[in-house]
Structure 1
Amino acid sequence: MTKFLLSVHVLAAILAVGSITVAASMFPRYALRALGVDGESGDGDRTPGIAALLHRVCRAYAVAGLAVPVFGLATAAQLGVLTDAWLIASLLLTTIAAVLLALAILPGQRSLLDMADPDDGRQPVPDTARPTAARLAMLTGIFNVLWATVTVLMIVRPGSTTGA
Structure 2
Amino acid sequence: MRLFNKSLLVEMALICLLAAVLGFAWNHQLLYNAWTGKATATSPTRNAPVAQGGVPLPAGLMQVKEFYDRKEAVFVDARDGTAFAASHIIGALSLPLGETEVKLPQFKAKVPQTTLLVVYCNGYDCHDSMDLGKKLLLAGYRTVFVFEGGYPEWKDAGYPVEGGKP
Q: Same fold (TM over 0.5)?
A: no
Larger radius of gyration, structure 1 or 2?
Answer: 2
Q: Which has the higher helix share?
A: 1
Q: Which has the higher strand share?
A: 2
Larger RCO (CA within 8 A; separation ≥ 6): 1
